[in-house]
Structure 1
């Protein structure tokens, strides 16, 4: 007999709800933050610089610039690369809207290249068909922490003289070709906002090996202000500060950096635990007729930021919505990541002909996949019992609805 799920009258797997994500904050993290508060210097200062050096060392980059969010990092990365008005930037549709919003901030044109249905990452073959004389940059997204095919993307960038800015919001600690993500491309942007596995509340970091990009990003995150006497247009004394470009207040605070330093020190621990949970899910769910698991890049190391299931709806007598609510009824919180960016109302309303597609499909694979996606809980603080509960609930629900 099939075990009835809670929505069909069975007893829920759990009495209390298991969250989809949760930060792992230890007492040492709290002490580090309170230590900064007691010190009295709370703005962007020495602790932020220490955090930047730690991130740069961890990923193997020459420079790192800490900012208020990953979205801010994407923006100043484009600014430092001088990508601007009416220039095209190719990115993935399967991402947070911030990835494409930064292009709009610069007056650029966003062009979405469809995904590889096996890996859920941007497809280099489709990218090649989207490159035009106005294309200036690529923003590949390491979706759910699974590294993109950077070899193919870098080859395209070299052939067409394009800047590559990696959106590695999900991929701190990930690897491609035996190297840490963060020093592979012109610029790489990390997020430390909730629910990233290394956490500063809100925050981001941009890494680069280019001193020119680094110096520009320092200016852009500081409202365009310059304080270094050697760089002033008109030196007149230590009191003079000049605005030399249009910038933004994208600074990180000392408290965030203090938390980030402690979190970064545990990055490998976090990834190891996430990987162990993901592998347990893989063993339990591989081969189930109702789901497809994303292929992992054989040349990379995933950070397993999210654990994604793609439902085989043709093998189910239920919709994605039915499965979603059935798992919630088992007290397992699940999610859906992400609505393709061009389907958000704003992107339809702005009316760019490459975006406002009223007939047909702009990115068929991404749209089709979105309608089948579910995200399962996966975070370091999960216990083995929590993981077992998720597996029990998923298999119970899938078995009940499988044709």
Structure 2
């Protein structure tokens, strides 16, 4: 029995991040400025993308990507119901219709074999979601998109650092949207980014993230700037701040180390837990590099609510990812979805529990989680 509480997740922050943020405070640049630009350059270099646009969240990144594609009223966007609220909500917010496609039971990711059946003349884009840090089958998805002239907007909220066929997630689809929320593999506190190889969309994305003002509006407050500006579009207040970027700059430099630790701990979990009957440990696609934003465990023979309660009694916090979107009242009432529409997503949801997994944990913490699981299952 642990004597100290083990949180479900904690960010890995030390003196480098603190000094970087203090440097921004001392400089006077608190909103978007030179550190945001530096952070964008680091994201682009890391992912292998030509461009990176830093924004306030992954939700903002998804929203702006849909707008840049011109997606709106009467359009349809294919995605998975096995995701967080933002993936579906942004589709609705631009006036389009979310069209859900079921997932594979092994990877939790959208099933490419089901995508083509969902395409109609109104379909304009596909949003694959890289669940838990493991890439979707991007080869098949890109092939389907090219054949049907569709945009691919990757929801990579879980997948910074992940790879597919040796390519970093961030340089495959038309747009890739990242999250830097505190629970993610690296953090800026709140924040996100869009990466793209398409020169055509960059200026529009940069303008839309800051009220539709010209893309370098932040320079108005530097010695390179001018007081004059023009509103070129009806945009949003979606920019990242220099304070956030200051936190992110040392974080991205540590990202590979963070991912290596996550993989090490995930392997320890799997080696021990895979031997327990009635538990399914995560599947790893050999074509993808899994960065283990989550460690999803499937309980086939045990009551999940009771399991989470018992873990809590042992001072260990767990979570559940996700309640499928089609089971929520808004999507049921607005689009007529019902239980049974996406059986694989529902099967996973009814059994999934996410164990603590983050670099700030120690080996002793990982082993205490394993011991707690074994104690609950075998008692």
Post-superposition Cα deviations, 1:227-276, rounded to whole Å, max 9, x if no partner, equal 779xxxxxxx9433111111100011111001100100000000000000
Post-superposition Cα deviations, 1:196-219, rounded to whole Å, max 9, x if no partner, equal 111110000100001111111001
User: Would the aligned equivalents of 1:227 and 1:242 in 2 still touch at CA under 8 Å?
Assistant: no
The match for 1:208 is: 196
Q: 1:228 to 1:332 in 2, by over 3 A?
A: closer
Post-superposition Cα deviations, 1:326-354, rounded to whole Å, max 9, x if no partner, equal 111111111101100122222223x22xx
The match for 1:378 is: 357
The match for 2:320 is: 336
The match for 1:7 is: none
Q: Check if 1:357 corresponds to 2:337.
A: yes
Tell me, what secondary structure is at the counterpart of 2:154?
strand
Q: Check if 1:81 corresponds to 2:69.
A: yes
User: For the residues of structure 2 that align with 1:146 and 1:25, how far apart are their CA atoms?
Assistant: 24
Tell me, what secondary structure is at the counterpart of 1:50?
helix
Alignment map for 1:3-18 (pairs within 5 Å):
13-18=1-6
Alignment map for 1:1-400 (pairs within 5 Å):
13-226=1-214, 238-313=226-301, 316=302, 319-349=303-333, 351-352=334-335, 356-358=336-338, 361-400=340-379
CA shift, 1:390, in A, is: 0.3
User: Would the aligned equivalents of 2:203 and 2:215 in 1 still touch at CA under 8 Å?
Assistant: no
Q: 1:296 to 1:260 in 2, by over 3 A?
A: same
User: For the residues of structure 1 that align with 2:340 and 2:215, how far apart are their CA atoms?
Assistant: 50
Q: 1:396 to 1:209 in 2, by over 3 A?
A: same
Structure with higher Rg: it is 1
Tell me, what secondary structure is at the counterpart of 2:95?
coil
User: Would the aligned equivalents of 2:160 and 2:169 in 1 still touch at CA under 8 Å?
Assistant: yes
Tell me, what secondary structure is at the counterpart of 2:59?
helix
CA shift, 1:59, in A, is: 0.4
User: For the residues of structure 2 that align with 1:94 and 1:399, how far apart are their CA atoms?
Assistant: 30
User: For the residues of structure 2 that align with 1:205 and 1:357, how far apart are their CA atoms?
Assistant: 31
Tell me, what secondary structure is at the counterpart of 1:198?
coil
Post-superposition Cα deviations, 1:33-68, rounded to whole Å, max 9, x if no partner, equal 011001112111111000000000000000000000
User: For the residues of structure 2 that align with 1:379 and 1:334, how far apart are their CA atoms?
Assistant: 13
Tell me, what secondary structure is at the counterpart of 1:225?
coil
CA shift, 1:17, in A, is: 1.2
The match for 2:221 is: none
CA shift, 1:296, in A, is: 1.4
